[in-house]
Amino acid sequence: MILAIDAGNSRIKWGLHDNTDWIASGRGIDIAELTVAWAALPEPERIIIVNVAGECIQAGLLDAVARWHVAPTWVNSSISACGVRNSYENPGQLGADRWAALIGARHRHRDACLVVNAGTALTIDMLSADGVFLGGIIVPGYTSMRQALATNTAALALQPGEFTRFPLNTGDAIASGAVQAMAGAVQRMAEEASVVWARKPVCILSGGDAATLRPHLNLKLKLVDNLVLEGLLVLARTPVSL
């Protein structure tokens, strides 16, 4: 069994895979929640972790997994792995979560695609048909945009709001603006990809705000519950690539 852990900026997502299917999964905002959730899990044979949340979370995760006496593998971006080649100027600077998501997307879809992860940040990455990561962009995610306005303006306090095409109150205007900005960024990158590939790409969409974004994209979509965990599973099954 493989325990895959994705420690992001807002939440820690995890899944236990028995080499056939995910048999347990969850998410939490702190290590204490994970400790409770993992108390009933059987001991995994391997533990693989991607952490973009900093050293404090890394130390907490080390304590949490120590119960199993299984040394975890920490994933970092590399020049190539599992059929994906990294074109970043400095390959190691690519976010490890983006790298895992690209590998997960390659495993699911053997053609050119946009790999979109809608979380604290919205990342939109181009992956060619032959598995080359061609580059991508990072913009604030839905909650980050709304919080930025609340923090940096005097009259736009964080407040409830819903998407509507023509907002008539401030809460809806902010919520709708965030969704439109995210959708616009994805569609713009799809246009850029269409120039390179001479066709509109499939969009592999994941992340906590994927469901919010999905209805506003005029693209062929494949919605994946947690693409980073799927990429970690592929990496764990291919030790030579780590």
According to CATH, what is the number of the domain 2-74?
A: 3.30.420.40
Give mean pLDDT, residues 201-225.
95
Q: How much is the pTM?
A: 0.93
| 242 — pLDDT class (breaks 50, 70, 90) | very low
DSSP state, residue 108? H
Residues 115-159 have pLDDT tens digits of 999 999 999 999 999 999 999 999 999 999 998 887 887 667 778
| 240 — pLDDT class (breaks 50, 70, 90) | low
pLDDT of 13 over the 80 cut: yes
Q: Write the burial class of residue 71 (CB in 10 Å: 0-12 exposed, 13-18 middle, 19+ buried).
A: exposed
Q: Which of 97, 130, 172, 225 is catalytic?
A: 97
pLDDT of 1 over the 90 cut: yes
Domains 2-74 and 80-226 share a fold: yes
The ranges assigned to domains in the chain are 2-74, 80-226
Of 34, 23, 33, give the one whose Cα is nearest residue 68. 34
Average per-residue pLDDT in the chain?
Answer: 93
Q: The domain at 80-226 falls in which architecture?
A: 2-Layer Sandwich (3.30)
Spatial separation of the C-alpha atoms in residues 32 and 64, rounded to whole Å: 8
- What integer pLDDT is reported at residue 111 of this predicted model? 95
pLDDT of 239 over the 70 cut: no
Helices (H), the chain: 31-38, 55-65, 96-108, 142-152, 170-197, 210-213, 227-236
Percentage of the chain with pLDDT > 90?
Answer: 84
Q: Can 225 be counted among the known catalytic residues?
A: no
Q: Write the burial class of residue 6 (CB in 10 Å: 0-12 exposed, 13-18 middle, 19+ buried).
A: buried
Of 202, 36, 47, 204, give the one whose Cα is nearest residue 116. 204
Residues 33-49 have pLDDT tens digits of 898 999 989 999 999 99
Residues 84-115 have pLDDT tens digits of 999 999 999 999 999 999 999 999 999 999 99
Contact 100, 75 (CB under 8 A): yes
Spatial separation of the C-alpha atoms in residues 23 and 41, rounded to whole Å: 10
Structure tokens at 93: 């600077």
| 210 — pLDDT class (breaks 50, 70, 90) | very high
Of 147, 139, 156, give the one whose Cα is nearest residue 207. 139
